[in-house]
Every structure is written in structure tokens, then in C-alpha cells.
Amino acid sequence: MQVIIRDDENSAANLTAAIIARRLCEKPDLVLGLATGRTMELVYARLAEMHRAGKLDFTHCRTFNLDEYIGLAPENVNSYRYYMNKHLFGKINIKMENTHLPDGVAIDLKKECLAYDQKIKDVGGINLQLLGIGESGHIGFNEPLSSLLSRTRDKTLTETTIAQNAPLFKSRDQVPRRALTMGIGNILESHTCLLLATGKRKAEIIAKAVEGPITSMVSASALQLHPHCHVILDEDAAGGLQETDYYKWIFRNEPDWQEFQDY
Ligand code: F6R
């Protein structure tokens, strides 16, 4: 795991977008794993800007989102399909048939989950997986006690997650209690993970996930097992970490990161 700390949420998001852009330029048929949430909005805005400026071509890119609420159809403004179309897919030249999210209104949810995992397998796996983190420690919607080997399946959301996401709904009662989510096993199989977290609200859970023990009580701590995982934070989200000077030294001095120093 490598921790990168930037001054504020804008530069953390800019760096995240720059890393994605770099990978897409190197591999135009990149298989990109995507997340939703407030943290990602800045990243998607940057990617859309780069596309508008003629610097990014998504023609051959394939995407797989981590999760979708059960019971919300794509037209529902709170569905993650709606979010992705609004913040990213509608603003870039990706082919809609190359974008995938679990279907939260599938009649047979178990079959849907198996089919989703199979689709990921069929394209050869995810090259770069973008992740946020919830205050419950979830990545995707892998709430506490999710198996560290789990695959795409349905999960019941914790009260913490419902409270975290309620401001995006008209009322708390409207937040679905269940979602389909890729499992931690799927996430660990992606070639590279990029976790972005910003703001003071994330400081405590980031400290547990990054410097605490690996435990299914904090799903994101499983990323410590991942061979290529970068955790990008702003100073606020990094506020609970012990070894910040060490992480900053590595970022400043590692040859691979030299081209990203200005973000
Ligand atoms: C959603 C997802 C979640 C969010 C997390 C953070 O697709 O994967 O794990 O990334 O809940 O959400 P925000 O950014 O709204 O704090």
C-alpha cells in the first residue's frame, strides 16, 4: 500500500484523475472499475474536462461499477446508473454498451451477481479499480463483516452508511436498505487499486484501514493485502495517520511519481 497526501481535495482529485488518464493513454482498452459518491464527483469532472480538451479518448475503454442500490431503476435520480451517466458517461465519448453496473432491479438478483462476475472475467479482469471509503469502512458496499473473499452479491447497509448517504435522498426513509456490490475478493483481484478519500469525516476510518489491523470489521483494511494499492488523501483525511512524513518522503522521491509532483 502506498499513501499519497495532497494539500486539499482538489489536488487529491486532480492527481487521481491524472493517474487514470495516464493509464488510459497507455492502454486505450483499459478496464476501469468505478465508484460513485460525493468524493468522486471532482475526479469525474476532471476526466470530462480532459476529454473536452481533446486529451482523453474513451472509445475503447470498458467500465464496471462497484455497486447499485437494490430496487432503484436506472431512471431514478438516486440510482448509481443515473449518477454515472450524469457525472461521467454523458460527458465523455464512452460507448454506453461498454459501461456496466449491477442491475438493482433484476428479477433474479443471485443470477445477476453471477453474471456480473462472469462479465468481469470475460474481459480479463479489472485493470484499475477506483475506490472511495465509507465511514463504516466499506469499499463498494462491503459493510463490516463482509468476507475478505466475497464476490458480487447483495448486502444490507449499515445505519452508518444510511446516515452517510441520506442527504442525497429526499428523506432518510428513501435510502434503500440493500445494494448489490462487488465483493472484496473481486476488488483484490483487480490489477491496481486507487482509493481516494478527502475531508475530516474520513480521517478516523482511514487511520484504521491503513495503519490498523486487517479485519473484516473494516473492509478497506483488506487493501493492505493488495500488491498495487495507492491511497490518495487530502491533509484532512490523513489527519489520523502516524507515518505521514514517511509517506510524503516516498512520494517525493520515488522515480515513478516524479511526473505527478505538480498535482
Ligand atoms: C459507491 C461506493 C462507496 C463510496 C463511499 C464514499 O459506489 O463505492 O464505497 O465510495 O461510500 O462515499 P462518499 O464519497 O459520498 O463519501
Confidence class for position 174, pLDDT limits 50, 70, 90: very high
169: nearest Cα among 95, 69, 263: 69
- Decide whether any atom of ligand 1 lies within 6 Å of the 132 Cβ: yes
**Mean pLDDT on 197-205:** 98
Within 10 angstroms of residue 59's Cβ, the number of other Cβ atoms is 11
The residue assigned the cell 512524513 is 245
Confidence class for position 60, pLDDT limits 50, 70, 90: very high
Tell me what percent of the residues of the chain surpass a pLDDT of 90.
100
The per-residue pLDDT of the chain, averaged, comes to 97
Q: How far apart are CA 66 and CA 47, in angstroms?
A: 19
**Mean pLDDT on 20-43:** 98
Q: For the segment 81-103, what is each residue's pLDDT rounded down to a tens digit? A: 999 999 999 999 999 999 999 99
Confidence class for position 128, pLDDT limits 50, 70, 90: very high
The verdict on pTM exceeding 0.75 is: yes
- Decide whether any atom of ligand 1 lies within 6 Å of the 39 Cβ: yes
Q: What is the pLDDT of residue 113?
A: 98
Q: How far is the CA of 255 from the centre of ligand 1 (A)?
A: 31
Kindly report the protein residue whose alpha carbon is nearest to atom 3 of ligand 1: 140
Confidence class for position 133, pLDDT limits 50, 70, 90: very high
Do the beta carbons of residue 10 and residue 42 sit within 8 Å?
yes
Kindly report the protein residue whose alpha carbon is nearest to atom 12 of ligand 1: 37
Q: For the segment 206-263, what is each residue's pLDDT rounded down to a tens digit? A: 999 999 999 999 999 999 999 999 999 999 999 999 999 999 999 999 999 999 999 8
Tell me what percent of the residues of the chain surpass a pLDDT of 70.
100
Do the beta carbons of residue 221 and residue 209 sit within 8 Å?
yes
Residue to mutate (ligand 1; options 16, 32, 34, 40; most atoms within 8 A of CB): 40
**Residue 177, C-beta contacts closer than 8 angstroms, at least 6 positions apart:** 156, 157, 162
42: nearest Cα among 94, 81, 88, 93: 88
